[in-house]
Structure 1
Amino acid sequence: MTVASAVTMEAPICLVENKNGELMVNQQALQILISIAKPVVVVAIVGMYRTGKSYLMNRLAGENTGFSLGSTVQSHTKGIWMWCVPHPRKLDHTLVLLDTEGLGDVEKGTYKTHCREGKIPKVKLGTDEAGGCFLFLIHDLRYVTELTELIKVKSSPNAVGEEDSAEFVGFFPDFVWTVRDFTLELKLDGHPITADEYLENALKLSNAKNPKVQMANLPRECIRKFFPKRKCFTFDRPTNDKSLLAHLEDVQESQLEPAFKDQADNFCSYIFSNAKPKTLSGGIIVNGNRLGKLLETYVRTISSGDIPCLENAVLALAQNENSAAVQKASKHYVDQMVLKVIFPTETLQDLLSLHTNCEKEAISIFMKHSFKDDTHKFQKKLVKILESKKDDFIHQNEEESIKYCQTKLEYLSKTLMEAISQGTFSVPGGYQLFRKEKEKIMNDYHQVPRKGVKADEVLQRFLQSLAMKEESILQTDQALTEQEKALEVEQVKRGVAEKEKKLLEQQQKEMQEKMEAQQRTYGENINQLKKKMEEDRIQILREQKKILNHKLKEQKKLMEEGFHAKAEEMERQMEDLQTKIKYTKSKKSSLWSSILDSLGDGLMVLLPGAKQFIGLGMKALGKLMS
């Protein structure tokens, strides 16, 4: 299944099946979902059966048919159905529509049965992270009150339902309440009001002590706590013709009431413009693959009888995603090196320069696709892999250089070797002829381009292989005096010593270049990690401030409605949140040292010799990173 086919589905497919009270993920639908690499905007709808949920979802998909509408008192949607379509206004996003099984169907039992069979957690699967939209068509708001009992945000041992609502605010999507067949006049105390004002008025709490009133307050309070961004749409009847109402999927646009058409268009326009990409805490954008992995975790947890914990699900996702990020980054490094490196490179530095660029890109890819790698386990793994791959390229570069140089020397020295075998130089004056031929070979060899990093070493070994033959030719040359022979031997020794010195200097230079490459590796990892952690800190601070602003508004409403005790409790929550905000702000000053403490030691182990530059170059490195 390709990405292209995944986002051009012709019809919905069941994503989560409800078979005899057991939840199961449809593997065919899952494969479609996980093939989507683009960020997803998830719009999930929940409400009583036969209230028009499927019709609204079809409108969002731009179709009249798709999600089953049904025409009887039975709910037609079983389980959760998914329709992935290209987002009409965000070309780089995919719209994921989730139509849920209707609540309250007499054939499915009571409200208690829905909870026991897992139907309530199931329809909440679309509410686990911020972004997207959660649509309600609901006559009985009791279901909202079950959120804190059926989903946990943190893995802490707190009792179910005791979590601060702020934790849920950070995860939940926007709340859109749609009211069908609305016949009331939008007025309050004789003054016109908007649909949003109608919703906010409906969510006002009553101070009466009547148990029924207090029960009615509970879902209102939950919606206000968990969904800071709320929107309301009211709809007229689509048509007054009852025969058409039973088959809306076949109704032409011209047969619909003009007011209803305008309301439906405004509704779709709002969803397209305002529903955000699904995002995990910390600003981590969710694509189809990530959403599919989360779905598997939630369904597996619910089926086992446990309460889904969002934090644990995200951590499990992070493990898979970070492993994939390491593979993606290391593959990019290898692919780019294979593409850019032409063996053998003239110098080691030429190869290391390409390595540095490819390594930087690989680290950047890892940072982009990884998250919650708090112990830097996966970053260290990537460093280790890239270091190993770099060594492989260095070794291959050396082998290619050796092979190439040996081939060239064999070709250039072929005439010389044949002359030695034939005794051509075993005559008076033969040594000078030999020296002339050897120097010609060396000159020709020096003219050969792209010999690579082992050019001098291969030449040195070649000359050493000739040393005994040269000594023999020299000693048997009767045209030379003993003194001239001694001078020649001394000159040869000096030449050998000079070449050995040059070779040693080259080896030392290459060692220094390797050390500098490791220093760049260390610096690049620290630099990119520091940048990522600072971005994460800013995102967390932004989320905390958003929650604080929400609580401030909610506290003001509670005061206006006379709930002073609740307002005081809200004040204590805000004080705790302000403490967290203060701590988040202060993390910037300790960020650099924390990175060095947590990652530095690991990199020193992974990068042999790194300790030699850490102590000497830390001050300069600190300036580089600041």
Structure 2
Amino acid sequence: KPAALSKHFTSCCLFTDSILRTVFILCPQGFALGATIQSKTKGIWMWCVPHPEKRDHTLVLLDTEGLGDVEKGDEKNDNWIFSLAVLLSSTLVYNSLGTIDNNALEKLHYVTELTEHIKVKSNQRDGEESSEYLRYFPSFVWTVRDFTLTLEVDGRPITANEYLENALKLRTGHSKKDQAYNLPRSCLRNYFSPRWCFVFERPASGDKMRRMEELTDADLEPAFVEQAKEFCDHVFKEAKTKTLKQGLKVTGRLLGNLAETYVSAIRSGQIPCLDNAVLALAQIENAEEVLKEYLERKAIIGQTILSADQSLTEAEQRAEAEQAKREASERENQAMEEQLVVQERLRADQQRTYEENVNQLMERMERDSRNAVAEHDRVLQARLKEQNDLLQQGFDDRAHQMQREIDALKGAKAQEEEKKPSFMSTALDTVGTAATLFLPGILPKVGGMAVKWLSKWF
């Protein structure tokens, strides 16, 4: 089960020829390959393997059903499948056949409805939609199977990535036809960055295609084997650890709780919200630890009471209680004497531990601040690139509209950098107060007051 794994996850969602019931099934032998016209995968199938290049990471492959299954014919279910895949993945791989043409993009209409099925904030405003989704959505990889064309435009060879970006160019014009043409392209450009593309030749010919699970690399076309290796190398290198807001890295237990949170929201008719999911995860993680401690403490008390009731009469219980009080008082006095003897030695250890904890706290706060600024930079650079592309394609109005969004991102970054000193001051003040109140001895209290004094300079 996902919750049994404690490592960080690099999750990659693969769309193949299969069906989903929002259920996670551990598949230790990998994914089955269907050789008939009937879809093979039922639900979201999960395959967890040790990451081949990153220590303490697990590579989680999520295989969903193919969208638009003719046997099912449930477009609403397909939308939720696509949305759930986006929410759980750090890299989203969309698999199609033949070429990236207008027909292929029209089939990917699910991307145009993401904002109806996913919310970033519970009080989300329209003006911040695209940049907020871009911040938390996975990277996007389009894989094209059985590709037979030559990667060339106007007599010039191009890369697969350029092939994808060329297919995502917008059309000038304001007619309904132009708007329908541009809608899926605009959504892909606005919600997913970075984007990559890989093309694959047909892996084998004739009857071999019906026996794919039995074949080795030697039985496949050499060009396909090489293309598959390039794709796998890309995933191993570029797929990032799945993170939530504020850089929270997803572990196995978090992945299980995250999936349950999203599925519960969907089944109850609500729209999954990233903010609410993070809050729910925090509550689950804290409600579990406290409950465990409480139950253990109550169990010990209950056993003690039961033992006393069974073995002692009422008078004996009173006598035992008096004796226990006397013994406790003696032990307390003895403990106080021992504490006075060792206190001087403990003070130095406590002070050192306190200073180490403060240093660790400051380092973590600094790291979190750097992560937030880096995230702002990534989104800002993506929006600047998109604005430049729009200008080159002649969409001056859209580029001008995007400038407001870019200005807002720059302002948010400045605010993030400005609030750092204030946040550091608050944290130092809190740590200083904690030291003054809770650390025993004069030296820690002086240290606490010193930290409070230093905080005034931030």
Q: What TM-score range do you get, normalising by the shorter chain?
A: 0.7 to 0.9
CA deviations over 1:46-93 (Å, ceiling 9, x no partner): 36x479xxxxxxxxx9x9x73232222222212101111122222321
**Following superposition of structure 1 onto structure 2, how do residues 59-458 of structure 1 map, counting pairs within 5 Å?**
66-109=30-73, 113-115=74-76, 117=77, 119-128=78-87, 132-138=90-96, 139=104, 140-156=107-123, 158=125, 163-241=128-206, 243-322=207-286, 399=331, 402=334, 454=337
From 417, 420, 428, the equivalent of 1:588 is 420
Q: Secondary structure at the match of 1:76?
A: coil
Q: Secondary structure at the match of 1:124?
A: helix
Give the equivalent residue in structure 1 for 2:318: none
Distance 2:229 2:353 in 1: 54
Determine if contact 1:523/1:621 at 8 Å carries over to the other structure. no
1:622 is displaced (CA, Å) by 4.7
CA deviations over 1:160-189 (Å, ceiling 9, x no partner): x76421111221122110011111110011
Determine if contact 1:526/1:595 at 8 Å carries over to the other structure. no
Give the equivalent residue in structure 1 for 2:301: none
- Pair 1:534-2:417 in alignment: no
Residue identity opposite 2:123 in structure 1? S
Relative to structure 1, the CA distance from residue 93 to residue 608 in structure 2 (aligned partners, 3 Å threshold; closer, same or farther) is closer
Show structure 1 runs of 5+ residues with no match: 1-31, 52-60, 330-394, 403-451, 458-505
1:591 is displaced (CA, Å) by 2.5
**CA RMSD in angstroms, aligned pairs only:** 3.7
Residue identity opposite 1:181 in structure 2? D
Distance 2:217 2:349 in 1: 67
Relative to structure 1, the CA distance from residue 292 to residue 579 in structure 2 (aligned partners, 3 Å threshold; closer, same or farther) is same
Determine if contact 1:604/1:611 at 8 Å carries over to the other structure. no
CA deviations over 1:3-26 (Å, ceiling 9, x no partner): xxxxxxxxxxxxxxxxxxxxxxxx
Determine if contact 1:544/1:581 at 8 Å carries over to the other structure. yes
CA deviations over 1:514-545 (Å, ceiling 9, x no partner): 88888777766554433322221111011001
Normalising by the residue count of structure 1, what TM-score does the alignment of the two structures yield?
0.58
CA deviations over 1:197-222 (Å, ceiling 9, x no partner): 10110111111334233212111111
Distance 1:295 1:207 in 2: 41
Residue identity opposite 1:454 in structure 2? E
- Pair 1:618-2:449 in alignment: yes
Q: Secondary structure at the match of 2:243?
A: strand
**Following superposition of structure 1 onto structure 2, how do residues 26-45 of structure 1 map, counting pairs within 5 Å?**
32-45=1-14
Residue identity opposite 2:132 in structure 1? E
Distance 1:524 1:319 in 2: 28
Determine if contact 1:74/1:105 at 8 Å carries over to the other structure. no
CA deviations over 1:225-274 (Å, ceiling 9, x no partner): 11111111111111231x22233212343332211111112111211222
Give the equivalent residue in structure 1 for 2:312: none
CA deviations over 1:467-515 (Å, ceiling 9, x no partner): xxxxxxxxxxxxxxxxxxxxxxxxxxxxxxxxxxxxxxx68x95x8888
Residue identity opposite 2:450 in structure 1? K
Determine if contact 1:50/1:73 at 8 Å carries over to the other structure. no
Residue identity opposite 2:382 in structure 1? H
Relative to structure 1, the CA distance from residue 207 to residue 591 in structure 2 (aligned partners, 3 Å threshold; closer, same or farther) is same
Residue identity opposite 1:224 in structure 2? R
Relative to structure 1, the CA distance from residue 301 to residue 603 in structure 2 (aligned partners, 3 Å threshold; closer, same or farther) is farther
Determine if contact 2:439/2:445 at 8 Å carries over to the other structure. no
Determine if contact 1:46/1:123 at 8 Å carries over to the other structure. no
Determine if contact 1:186/1:195 at 8 Å carries over to the other structure. yes
Residue identity opposite 2:158 in structure 1? I
**Following superposition of structure 1 onto structure 2, how do residues 518-597 of structure 1 map, counting pairs within 5 Å?**
526-596=358-428
Distance 1:121 1:165 in 2: 20
Distance 1:94 1:610 in 2: 46
Q: Secondary structure at the match of 1:277?
A: coil
CA deviations over 1:584-608 (Å, ceiling 9, x no partner): 1112321332225566667766x38
Determine if contact 2:41/2:63 at 8 Å carries over to the other structure. yes
Q: Secondary structure at the match of 1:276?
A: coil
Distance 2:442 2:84 in 1: 49
% identity of equivalent residues: 44
Determine if contact 2:119/2:271 at 8 Å carries over to the other structure. yes
Relative to structure 1, the CA distance from residue 281 to residue 617 in structure 2 (aligned partners, 3 Å threshold; closer, same or farther) is closer
Distance 2:378 2:289 in 1: 30
Relative to structure 1, the CA distance from residue 228 to residue 157 in structure 2 (aligned partners, 3 Å threshold; closer, same or farther) is closer
Mark the structure with the bigger radius of gyration.
1
Normalising by the residue count of structure 2, what TM-score does the alignment of the two structures yield?
0.78
1:549 is displaced (CA, Å) by 0.6
Residue identity opposite 2:414 in structure 1? K
Relative to structure 1, the CA distance from residue 581 to residue 571 in structure 2 (aligned partners, 3 Å threshold; closer, same or farther) is same
Relative to structure 1, the CA distance from residue 214 to residue 602 in structure 2 (aligned partners, 3 Å threshold; closer, same or farther) is same
